[in-house]
Structure 1
Amino acid sequence: MSIKNRILDFMKEQAYKPLTAEELLKAMDISRDQRSMLLDLLRNLEEQGAIIKNRRGCYGVPERMGMISGRLQGHAKGFAFLIPDNPNQEDVYIHANDLKGAMHNDKVLVRKFNKADGRSSSGEVVRVLERSNKKIVGKYEDNKNFGFVVPDDNRISYDVFIPQSQTKGAKEGQKVVVEITKWPEKRRNPEGEVVEILGYQGEPGVDIEAIIKKLELPEYFPEDVRNEVEAIPDSIPQEEIEGRRDLRDLKMVTIDGEDAKDFDDAVSIERLSDGKIRLGVHIADVTHYVRRGSALNKEAFNRATSIYLVDRVIPMLPEKLSNNMCSLRSDGDRLAMTVLMSFEEKTGKLLKHEIIESVIRVNHRLTYTKVNKMLIDEDNDLIEEYNDMIDELRLMGEFSQVLRKNRFENGSIDFDFPEAKIILDDEGKPVDIIKVNRGIAEKMIEDFMIRTNEVVAEDMFHREIPFIYRVHEQPSKEKLESLNSFVHNLGYHIKGLKGEEIHPKALQNILDKVKGEPEERVVSTVLLRSMQQAHYSPYNIGHFGLASRYYSHFTSPIRRYPDLMIHRIIKEVINKGVLSEERISQLMDELPNIADHCSVQERRAMDAEYESLDLKKVEYMEDKVGEQYEGIISSVMSFGFFVELDNTVEGLVHVSAMRDDYYHYYEDKHAFIGERTGNSYQLGDKVKVELVKVNLEDKQIDFDLVIDE
């Protein structure tokens, strides 16, 4: 065991009392010639927030000193929540006055207050461990002798003060990038300097560019990364092929969207004897090209994920790898990490599996549309074109339904909301919004990938290998009670909601009961909003939403760093059999930081993707003021309610626009009810609205109710 882990384990012991560095040396029998090394290690652990040094110079772990480490999730109203590093700890509410200059996404230490109401935790920031917002994108507001930048991200509640000498000539209303030079303190805003002027709101490309800058990700790969990629041979060395399982004669296909360019996964299926089948999931072997310690690996870690904006992709890996050498194209041999799983065909029971390094050759690049036409519409032309694979595709479709049935019987929660796809013209202007529904092909690939992720995670868990899991906590007790109260008003009840624990099947049962009913959408929406956000963790606590005891992200290493990292770990395990104590200790040190960083980058990427979609939706509606639509109330707030149109565009009906009565807001019912008429507007209700205002700068759409006489 490393000295670092020895120290942490020692401090977590029940009998431990905070000690000075000298006292730790003595208590742990560390020789005096290692004193400087110990002091460096203590300093490093303190910077990470793993330990705390109190005013008396004594060290201890945060949890034993009434503190919690984690990341702040800011709110537009100024307060924040601490999302603890330890997924078993509950979120902590932080009042704006208790942030002590900490900002959204900062890594902090928080001291919890005693619970006043016995329900929710609150606390105050004690120390900022890591600053997240070194650069901020926002709108410049000019004053005579100075300026301010109002952040685009409303979760950053501070405006940034800009001295006159640091404005770089920015003008009122321009979008700028500002670099923080002084962090906020109590009663003092952060200070910064303008480092880039993006242009005025509404100018071509400015808004998307602002979203990209907000991520703080480079648009281009550094020279050392480009040089490393150029040096990678275009062909696979023969000795590499000889050291792998040769699966080039195994029939397999990739199935993706029409516009996909990076193909992470291929699938194969074989019917064996005695009612068994063998499913093969073959994943691009990115780690062969992205080596530990390389500039390419460092850049992939920094980015952590590919980002899919509405008009472009910011890839995790350079195009030569992501779209060519790693991508499982059907034009030659490719290196893969393969999971071969044998199942009982009728029951879907897993009989055995193996994880291997392989060399493969994809037979066909298929699309979801083509597979759906073959399996649903029985398209004869396509069936003839792919007659060498049609039997396998039909078997895949049948077996995926077995896996799906098992998953839902285990309690996996199914939210089947359609996605929006925005069609842009050559100048990037939105010309249409279409809803994309999932067919057999999409669900089939989802079923195969989920099962593979489960199998891999369980394998590594039982080997007791340090690993990165994809985890998802159950909803908080307060949210479950609120959800139960809401569905109770509609005549439903969540079974098993008595103690602290609840099985996800109890929530899926509610979705099953409302399926096809008028209240289906409203119940699904409220249930979804009660959920926690999935994230990465070195601690396996299972995945609540999927009802999985073991879950990982293994299937997309071209676009997700956690997948790449666990491929690296798996390859070490299957090639060496066991990992050395030194390597295990190294992984235990590395993985918490990798998991935390990837979770943060994933949230930023999702924010950017949603923001770019919202931006183009608002832009699409800009010339439609005065038009009337039918929609569904998708969210109810104290100031009004949001209406979602059939094309997924959302707009606000402000309470002041409800002119036929004086309406009261009922939070528990998710509704407004008229004082005189008794008319109600509740989450899920169908309403008719007129578009009255589109604000591109605030990405806001306003509707008025249309009340038929």
Structure 2
Amino acid sequence: MARGEEGGEGVEPEDKKNRRRGKGKGKDKDKDKKVVEKTKGKGKSSTKRPRRVYEPFDARFQQDLKAGALLKGRLRVNPRRREEAYVTVEGVEVDVILKGRKNQNRTVDGDEVAIRILPLEDWDSAERLEDAVEDSDESEEEGVQEDDSGLESLTELVEKKLVVGDGGGGDQARAWTLDEINNQIREHKRRPAGKVVGIVNPTDQRKHIVCRIHKAEKLEDLSPATSVTFRPVEDRFPFLRLQVPTDSKKEMKRLKKLELTKARDKFILVMVTKWPLYSEAPFCGVVEVLGEMTSKENQISAVLLQQGIEQTHLGEFSKEVISCLPSTPWEIGDKEISLRRDLRSWRIFSIDPETARDLDDALSIEMVDEKTARVGVHIADVTHFVRPATSLDKEASKRATSVYMVDGVLPMLPRLLCEELCSLNPGTDRLAFSIVWEISLETCDVLSEWIGKTVIRSCTKLNYGQAQEIIEGKALSSAPKVHQHTVKEISGDVKLLDKIAKRLRAQRFERGALTLNIPRVSIVLGEDMTPIGAKQYVQRDSNYLVEEFMLLANRRVALFISEKVPSAALLRRHPPPHRRKIEGLVKMTDKMNLSIDVSSSGAIHESLERIRSEVDASTFYAVVLLATKPMQTAMYFCTGAPAYQEQSSKWRHYALAFDHYTHFTSPIRRYADVVVHRLLVDILAREGEGKKKTKGSKKGKVFESTGKGGQGPWGAKFTEELIDQCDHCNKQKLAAKAVQDSSIKIYLALWLQKESYETEAVILDLNGPKWMGVFVPEFGMEFVLYWREERRFKARWDSTSKKMNVCALESTKENEPLLRLENFQTVRVSLVSAFDKRSCANEITAKLVI
């Protein structure tokens, strides 16, 4: 495989490639290329001039983007209908659809693309607007959906004209404003259609696509006549054709060693090498043959590679990274203690999952007077060890997040830091970044606030179960080991923190917050780390206690840094839901004879709480699942980015109903928090210097934010780098979530291979005669029931009533059906699992229990 051709055609702008080759603008480099293809009907080979399948990219698309004549966004492919792709553009009320491969024009899922809106007659109809189906995943944060679409702000273009038409050529193009586009959407219920005219940034996914061999000819003897088609494991990606590296003896030798003839039942990692105008499918090179598809280890490896996590978290930490770590045994020096606020006498403790080893947050509380409490949130001071611009920092920045799987974790930091020196383990002195408030017990208002570096000594580690027992007034089933203080004192602190947390939570919802929590499944492992069961993971008051104080800390820090450095703060925003999709939610709940107000996040929350009291638990969680579908992605952003600078209305977090929000509380496992800690250090240092009436920076001062000296750290270059870091953190967070979800599904499927599991399900997708989609509230997951696989009864689809009649095998059309099924009906299903070669996975399906 020729590494130099990694991007291939369909990545570079056409005019740029031609200029680099010294050719005229707009010329197709493959114009005179000959391709060998079989003559139809004869099976013989003939040499023919290649026929263009795609149009060249617009040579001026970069200029047109800047001028506002094109839209930009990240393309995502509908895995259920790969001929459909969507681009979310801020300022357009619905996603723009790209119909067919020609309009998608050699792009793959995740590419950032420039699109031109097509004429109105090419837009989608009202029916297609309502019926368009896209797969989506639930979010792990704040109960909202994580969507992998990228957004480009176009608010500044509202008053500008957008060229709507096929552009280029001599065609007459009609000019529209975004307002006019949205009016067409509203009045005629039409979804705008577009086509790709250029790729702004190709996705890294092009470099790692996991496939299986779909079809192969003359594979035994590699030659120009060899033809291999690969089918990606994920349906979001197109089929790929092997590019036989006949011009490189070294690559041919490497490819032969991979023994593709023996790899028909194995995962194969490929990368896109080029996508010529004449080829319906992209060409690829084989990177690696991974192993048998039925192996759990290979399935996990395939997921890690597909999501790019294997590449960023590859193997052990390098010697250069390890050399940045302090020598052990390590202890805090007296000089370091003198520079910090000493809180070692405070009664500080952590509440975490029972198996947690990276303890990055702890709490404390004490009464100031009968109406006021002093509450502290204490976060591991990771930045003391991870110095800017070091090999350790670069590695943490690249990884950006820890990745949690059923059987382990791929850490962002070496274990010496995340499990020992940074972890707030009880009974040991630890460096921390603390935020301390005096809070009114009556109103929960913050009366005073202090933020700074501290040294603490946690007195104990409680797990969520122990904290819950304390809250409920039960005797502890297992006694925690306590240093310096007593269990009775800690129990009093937990109860007081719980009292304040409940008030804070109530106030959040009164101010418009929304939570969309769905039950999650937890895999039970045996001693040999194989799955022996599954159970529902339930969040209780002890979880919400910790959550509320972490939310308060993140919100207060976000407000602080955005006020002090409005052009260079790292915040986290959550855009409002897709307008049309949220209207679809209303129609869905209407069909369930339920009403939901979607006018605001608070209105949705109030509606859901009312619905909770009107229906059974299974139906309620089905409605919550439907409510996650329209939600957009929460994302990190730099306040100095052009899309957000001086536009603080875009900074808001929709689900939390916060004007300012960031991540500060988990620096051991999230690099975004490390960046925020460094901003805080520099801001606090500047504030301290200001109080001392000093001007400018001290000579030789090195800023935490950059690792460099100078008059100030937050210039244009810092902003550019922070924008890139935010984008990378967003990408890695989504990838880590995908790995976590896939890991759970793999282990759940392995368990269900051994024994089926019967449970309750709600029908959510019954729209035809072939299959039915169900939601299993116990696990918070959706599964499919295929009617063709049923051998115990007949299934007859009634297209008029949109119901499925389930009948006995010997029944006739005149017989009364055993069951009449319709959407939103609750049924019993049995979950089973078997290996499916098409999806290259142990597929979980549902069977109807009658």
TM over 0.5: yes
Q: Indicate if the aligned counterparts of 1:633 and 1:644 stay in contact, CA closer than 8 A.
A: no
1:193 aligns to what SS in structure 2?
strand
Letter in 1 for 2:762: I
Q: Report the equivalent of 1:275.
A: 371
Partner Cα separation in structure 1 for residue 462 and residue 832 of structure 2 = 44
Which one of 635, 648, 653 corresponds to residue 535 of structure 1? 635
Partner Cα separation in structure 2 for residue 63 and residue 659 of structure 1 = 59
How far 1:371 sits from its partner (Å)? 1.0
Alignment of 1:57-456 (within 5 A): 60=63, 62=65, 64-76=67-79, 77-78=81-82, 79-83=84-88, 91-95=95-99, 96-113=101-118, 116=123, 118-119=184-185, 120-128=191-199, 129-133=201-205, 134-141=207-214, 142-144=216-218, 145-163=226-244, 165=252, 166=255, 168-170=258-260, 171-183=263-275, 187-214=279-306, 215=308, 216-217=311-312, 218-229=314-325, 234-273=330-369, 275-379=371-475, 382=479, 386-456=487-557
Q: Which has the larger radius of gyration?
A: 2
Distance 1:266 1:89, change over 3 A: farther
Q: Report the equivalent of 2:49.
A: none
How far 1:488 sits from its partner (Å)? 2.7
Distance 1:504 1:230, change over 3 A: same
Distance 1:181 1:54, change over 3 A: closer
Partner Cα separation in structure 2 for residue 255 and residue 352 of structure 1 = 25
Q: Indicate if the aligned counterparts of 2:58 and 2:197 stay in contact, CA closer than 8 A.
A: no
Which one of 779, 798, 801 corresponds to residue 663 of structure 1? 798
Q: Indicate if the aligned counterparts of 2:575 and 2:654 stay in contact, CA closer than 8 A.
A: yes
Q: Indicate if the aligned counterparts of 1:635 and 1:643 stay in contact, CA closer than 8 A.
A: no
Distance 1:229 1:692, change over 3 A: closer
- 2:821 paired with 1:681: yes
> After superposition, what is the alpha-carbon deviation per residue over 1:647-677, rounded to whole angstroms, capped at 9, x for unaligned?
556532225558343233989xxx7689997
Q: Which moved more, 1:378-387 or 1:311-320?
A: 378-387
2:198 aligns to what SS in structure 1?
strand
Q: Report the equivalent of 2:785.
A: 653
Q: Report the equivalent of 1:511.
A: 608
How far 1:255 sits from its partner (Å)? 0.7
Partner Cα separation in structure 2 for residue 612 and residue 371 of structure 1 = 29
Partner Cα separation in structure 2 for residue 189 and residue 370 of structure 1 = 57
Partner Cα separation in structure 1 for residue 453 and residue 832 of structure 2 = 59
> After superposition, what is the alpha-carbon deviation per residue over 1:197-239, rounded to whole angstroms, capped at 9, x for unaligned?
2211223521112222222331322331122225688223332
Q: Report the equivalent of 1:631.
A: 761
TM value normalised by structure 1:
0.83
Q: Report the equivalent of 2:581.
A: 479
Q: Which moved more, 1:196-205 or 1:332-341?
A: 196-205
> After superposition, what is the alpha-carbon deviation per residue over 1:584-640, rounded to whole angstroms, capped at 9, x for unaligned?
423321222111111111111111111111111111111336x75543335556542
Q: Report the equivalent of 2:563.
A: 462
Distance 1:59 1:132, change over 3 A: closer
How far 1:270 sits from its partner (Å)? 1.8
Distance 1:154 1:471, change over 3 A: same
Letter in 1 for 2:195: E
Q: Indicate if the aligned counterparts of 1:248 and 1:359 stay in contact, CA closer than 8 A.
A: yes
Q: Which moved more, 1:274-283 or 1:163-172?
A: 163-172
Q: Indicate if the aligned counterparts of 2:520 and 2:779 stay in contact, CA closer than 8 A.
A: no
Distance 1:444 1:211, change over 3 A: same
5+ unaligned residues in a row in structure 2: which ranges? 1-56, 125-183, 186-190, 219-225, 246-251, 639-643, 645-649, 691-695, 697-710, 807-812
1:389 aligns to what SS in structure 2?
helix
Partner Cα separation in structure 1 for residue 372 and residue 623 of structure 2 = 39
- 2:842 paired with 1:704: no
Distance 1:269 1:231, change over 3 A: same
Q: Report the equivalent of 1:33.
A: none
Q: Which moved more, 1:256-265 or 1:221-230?
A: 221-230
Q: Indicate if the aligned counterparts of 2:469 and 2:476 stay in contact, CA closer than 8 A.
A: no
Letter in 2 for 1:238: D
How far 1:530 sits from its partner (Å)? 2.1
Partner Cα separation in structure 1 for residue 465 and residue 653 of structure 2 = 30
Partner Cα separation in structure 1 for residue 841 and residue 397 of structure 2 = 33
Letter in 1 for 2:587: S
Partner Cα separation in structure 1 for residue 413 and residue 88 of structure 2 = 29
Q: Report the equivalent of 2:177.
A: none
Distance 1:575 1:93, change over 3 A: farther
Q: Report the equivalent of 2:748.
A: 617
Distance 1:684 1:244, change over 3 A: farther
How far 1:194 sits from its partner (Å)? 2.6
Partner Cα separation in structure 1 for residue 534 and residue 833 of structure 2 = 19
Partner Cα separation in structure 1 for residue 800 and residue 631 of structure 2 = 23
Partner Cα separation in structure 2 for residue 702 and residue 680 of structure 1 = 21
1:272 aligns to what SS in structure 2?
strand
Q: Report the equivalent of 2:677.
A: 567
Letter in 2 for 1:93: I
Letter in 1 for 2:240: D
Equivalenced residues, count: 644
Letter in 2 for 1:466: A
Q: Indicate if the aligned counterparts of 1:102 and 1:184 stay in contact, CA closer than 8 A.
A: no
1:388 aligns to what SS in structure 2?
helix
Partner Cα separation in structure 2 for residue 290 and residue 303 of structure 1 = 14
Q: Indicate if the aligned counterparts of 1:672 and 1:680 stay in contact, CA closer than 8 A.
A: yes
Letter in 1 for 2:773: F
Letter in 1 for 2:600: H
Q: Which moved more, 1:110-119 or 1:512-521?
A: 110-119
Partner Cα separation in structure 2 for residue 594 and residue 477 of structure 1 = 29
How far 1:83 sits from its partner (Å)? 4.4
Partner Cα separation in structure 1 for residue 277 and residue 389 of structure 2 = 38
Partner Cα separation in structure 2 for residue 326 and residue 610 of structure 1 = 28
1:281 aligns to what SS in structure 2?
strand
Q: Report the equivalent of 1:48.
A: none
How far 1:705 sits from its partner (Å)? 2.3
Q: Indicate if the aligned counterparts of 2:554 and 2:664 stay in contact, CA closer than 8 A.
A: yes
Distance 1:623 1:90, change over 3 A: same
Q: Indicate if the aligned counterparts of 2:832 and 2:847 stay in contact, CA closer than 8 A.
A: yes
Q: Report the equivalent of 2:620.
A: 520
Considering only aligned residues, what root-mean-square deviation do their CA atoms show, in Å?
Answer: 3.1
Letter in 1 for 2:571: Y
How far 1:260 sits from its partner (Å)? 0.6
